[in-house]
Amino acid sequence: QWSFAEVTDKENFYGNSNPIDLVKKYGSPLYVYNERILRARCRELKNLVSYPNFVVNYSAKANTNLELLKIVKEEGLQVDAMSPGEIFIELKAGFEPEEILYISNNVSAEELKYAIEAGVMVSVDSLSQLELFGQINEGGEVAIRFNPGVGAGHHEKVVTGGKKTKFGVDPRYIDNVKEILNKYNLRLIGINQHIGSLFMESDSYIEGIKSVLDIAGNFDDLEFVDFGGGFGIPYHKQDGQERLDLAQLGKGLDKVLREWVAEYGKEITFKIEPGRYIVAECGVLLGEAYATKVNYDRKYVGSDLGFNVLMRPMLYESHHDVEIYSKQDRESDNKEEVLIVGNICESGDIIAKNRLLPEIVEGDIIGILDAGAYGYVMSSNYNQRLRPAEVLIKEDGEDVLVRRRDTLEDLMRNYEF
Ligand code: LLP
């Protein structure tokens, strides 16, 4: 019955349990993660290329659940961080400071100091922040994010490289970079980029890599070049969407890296920085249908899956495949077109638009698939709703709570001073 398992890893996604019992046990809405799938994705990426000095930095912004981070660490990946908060939680999960790359963007001196004192490598993304870093940490080691002018992504809001975005240093300023490095006696040991989020073909990624390697050639003493994340997953599995061809990408990557190293004359470390690819498919968001209605010829299924729980559809018009789990046997196989909506007081609160699904009745459980990335981390208390609980299906099939649901008292926490 649980077809999502078949399209991911041919394993029962829900282990020894099932969506209905999980909601009964832990409440709704509920994020459910599958450990086996998470580990499988980590391993696929670790084996992407045959070039030996290759590091996968999990981009933890996609999902910072502590238990998931611990699994990623166990799999031998490193991590990136986007804020002191991410550094903090990554250290708690057991990552060593030297396994963390802080990719800073417009941050205060205090934030830079926090990272430097924690012993974490810092990447800065403008001349002005390089100056600030030099003032704070004269004689230190630093990385710089460049923007080679290439971008890609599933939505304009997540195309981070290219000529119209705020990120990275424009390579025309390489001489200025060198001046600031000299002025503060800084050693540039790494450069990084991120062209954007969610590519399904290797070409744009390989193009981005070539451009950043061209930039890297201007510096003598590098220890690493980090190509960023963006590895896509097929969100339209129910329509037969193909996976990203990792074998092809790996082959292309290997070739480019080996050729470049031969020219540069020094073996350096190459890093990739995927978030979504590692965690999206190991997560399902479960919710419950509470009401159905027809409003002016459109059928609505009202649920607890508001955009406070999963923002992606509202923010980027993102598609997530949906599965319905019924408590009773269905009387008919008829399908109907519905909109699945949440309980937030905004009309944009639609998690799935115009989907052809078996008739949904009150009490049915709704599964929003591929919700492990940018799900819980982007959830909020909007409307003073409580953020959901998170459950992990362990490799042995047992389910464990890995973060409790908010309580009403949590809403009062920041008034206590
Ligand atoms: N590295 C950097 C510097 C990034 O900014 C990002 C994502 C990544 C790595 C990881 O990208 P990924 O491999 O996950 O595509 N909230 C959006 C995605 C925002 C991504 C922002 N940066 C979404 O839900 O689609």
Span from the CA of 412 to the centroid of ligand 1 (angstroms): 31
Query: What is the predicted pLDDT for the residue at 11?
Result: 53
HSE toward the beta carbon, residue 335, CA cutoff 13 A: 7
Span from the CA of 276 to the centroid of ligand 1 (angstroms): 7
- One digit per residue, the tens of pLDDT, for the chain of length 417 reads 344 434 344 458 999 999 999 999 999 999 999 999 999 999 999 999 999 999 999 999 999 999 999 999 999 999 999 999 999 999 999 999 999 999 999 999 999 999 999 999 999 999 999 999 999 999 999 999 999 887 777 788 877 778 888 999 999 999 999 999 999 999 999 999 998 888 999 988 898 899 999 999 999 989 999 999 999 999 999 999 999 999 999 999 999 999 999 999 999 999 999 999 999 999 999 999 999 999 999 999 999 999 999 999 999 999 999 999 988 777 677 899 999 999 999 999 999 999 999 999 999 999 999 999 999 999 999 999 999 999 999 999 999 999 999 999 999 999 999
Measure the CA angle with vertex 148, ends 147 and 150; round to 5°. Answer: 100
Query: What is the predicted pLDDT for the residue at 2?
Result: 40
Residue nearest to atom 16 of ligand 1 (CA): 374
- Alpha helix stretches (DSSP H) within 159-303: 174-183, 202-216, 246-264, 276-279
Give the mutation target among 59, 315, 370 for probing the ligand 1 site: most ligand atoms within 8 A of CB.
59
Span from the CA of 70 to the centroid of ligand 1 (angstroms): 20
Span from the CA of 197 to the centroid of ligand 1 (angstroms): 5
- Would you call 212 helix, strand, or coil by DSSP? helix
Residues 137 and 107: their CA atoms lie apart, in Å, by: 15
Residue nearest to atom 23 of ligand 1 (CA): 374
Give the mutation target among 276, 285, 320 for probing the ligand 1 site: most ligand atoms within 8 A of CB.
276
Ligand 1 near 147 CB (within 6 A): no
- Beta bridge partner(s), residue 231: 199
Which helix (DSSP H) or strand (DSSP E) does residue 69 occupy?
helix 66-74
Domain extents in the chain: 3-10+281-415, 48-274
Residue 149 is labelled as binding a ligand? no
Residue 156 is labelled as binding a ligand? no
103 CA: nearest ligand 1 atom: 3
Q: Is the peptide bond before 234 cis (omega within 30 degrees of 0)?
A: no
Tell me the helix, strand and coil percentages in the chain, rounded to 5. 35, 25, 40
Residue 276 is labelled as binding a ligand? yes
Ligand 1 near 198 CB (within 6 A): yes
Residues 215 and 414: their CA atoms lie apart, in Å, by: 46
The pTM assigned to this predicted structure is 0.96
Residues 89 and 81: their CA atoms lie apart, in Å, by: 10
Name every residue whose Cβ is closer than 8 Å to that of residue 178 and which is 6 or more positions away in sequence: none
On whether the CB atoms of residues 102 and 115 are closer than 8 A, the answer is yes
275 CA: nearest ligand 1 atom: 14
Residues 267 and 276: their CA atoms lie apart, in Å, by: 29
Among all residues, which ones are annotated catalytic? 345
Angle between helices 202-216 and 246-264 (to 10 degrees): 10
Residue 153 is labelled as binding a ligand? no
What type of residue sits at position 262? Answer: A
| CATH class label, 3-10+281-415 | mainly beta
Residues 90 and 73: their CA atoms lie apart, in Å, by: 9
Span from the CA of 274 to the centroid of ligand 1 (angstroms): 8
On whether the CB atoms of residues 200 and 194 are closer than 8 A, the answer is no
DSSP 8-state symbol, 157: G
Ligand 1 near 312 CB (within 6 A): yes
Residue 84 is labelled as binding a ligand? no
Task: Write out the DSSP string of 345-406.
Answer: SSTT-EEEEEEEEEPP-TT-EEEE-S-SSSSGGG---GGGPPPPEEEEE-TTS-EEEEEPPP
Query: What is the predicted pLDDT for the residue at 7?
Result: 38
Measure the CA angle with vertex 130, ends 126 and 136; round to 5°. Answer: 145
From residue 271, how far is each of 55, 83, 99, 205 by CA, in Å? 5, 19, 12, 13
| CATH class label, 48-274 | alpha beta
On whether the CB atoms of residues 342 and 314 are closer than 8 A, the answer is no
Query: What is the predicted pLDDT for the residue at 152?
Result: 76
